[in-house]
Amino acid sequence: MTVDRHAPDPVRSELLDEGSADSGISHGFFSRAGGVSEGLYRGLNVGLGSRDNRAHVLENRTRVSRWFGQAPDRLVTVHQVHSPRVHVATAENRAERPEADALVTDTPGLVLGVLTADCGPVLFADPEARIIGAAHAGWRGAFDGVLESTVAAMVGLGARVERIAAVLGPSISQTSYEVGPEFIDRFLSTDPAHDIYFLAAPKPGHAMFDLRRFTLDRLRSAGLKADMLADCTYADEEAWFSYRRATHRNEPDYGRQISAIAIKEEPHGPAF
């Protein structure tokens, strides 16, 4: 993918689109396309925690908001800390950025966004109840239950598990995710059946971890209709930011992409 500096062009999921047109739910897994950042951050870097020019980051976030037809102050994100905590977003608290790794809402007009650069962005929707969610699921968050916490928070707002669709967006693939013995032991000591998520790596004692399969299995075990996008953030530099790729290159920093979902104010209005 060539980075287009003019307009964001997010990837969409057919599963999330099913039934969402009538409910007015829209979503996008935003790549680097359509941003104003330069250098290491080239494209649509939305990371407030990065060392990018802050004016560029704010402009990029504004472009995401406008893609949904919303003002910049309607984009809601949290201070992500690899936890299972969920923030229930409302019109009144939308400017807050609590330490959490997932958001849910039933408030039309709010754009829920999670930032990633290899971790798994998961978007959720119950189109009948018009309740949505977004989760940042790295290995720690997925392992500690952020996905299940998101579902529970949505149910608390009136969603029903059997109606929730969840899609894992672009994230690091198993072929690019080498982990060490302490990581492996953590998973296997919890459940020996977790060995299905590991393949032998060239380095002795190391393994290649399948975060995407682990995430999908957690979603499906929770009773959701779940799917994933095949894009690997590490492998496709033109399209996606990657923390691990930047680390392997000894680069001083990295950008973050955003995955976002929103409920339109008028449920039967034209798609946006």
53 falls within a domain? yes
Task: State the DSSP code for 133.
Answer: E
237 falls within a domain? yes
What are the beta bridge partners of residue 112? 76, 261
CATH number at residue 56: 3.60.140.10
Range of the domain at 106: 14-167+230-263
Question: What pLDDT, on a 0 to 100 scale, did the predictor assign at position 18?
Answer: 85
Give the 3-state DSSP-derived string for 137-164, with helices as H, strands as E and coil as C. ECHHHHHHCHHHHHHHHHHHHCCCHHHC
148 falls within a domain? yes
pLDDT in tens, the chain (272 residues): 344 457 898 999 999 998 676 789 999 999 999 999 999 999 999 999 999 999 999 999 999 999 999 999 999 999 999 999 999 999 999 999 999 999 999 999 999 999 999 999 999 999 999 999 999 999 999 999 999 999 999 999 999 999 999 999 999 999 999 999 999 999 999 999 999 999 999 999 999 999 999 999 999 999 999 999 999 999 999 999 999 999 999 999 999 999 999 999 864 444 43
User: Is the Cβ–Cβ distance between 159 and 129 less than 8 Å?
Assistant: yes
Q: How many CB atoms lie within 10 A of CB 160?
A: 13
Task: State the DSSP code for 255.
Answer: -
End-to-end CA gap in the chain: 23
Helix (H, G, I), strand (E, B) or coil at 247: helix
32 falls within a domain? yes
Cα atoms in the Cβ-side hemisphere of radius 13 Å centred on 28 = 18
Residue 43 C-alpha from the chain's centroid: 18
Domains held by the chain: number: 1
246 falls within a domain? yes
Which long-range contacts link 45-49 to residues 24+ away (Cβ below 8 Å)?
Answer: 45/241, 45/255, 45/256, 45/257, 46/113, 46/115, 46/256, 46/257, 46/258, 47/115, 47/117, 47/255, 47/256, 48/77, 49/256
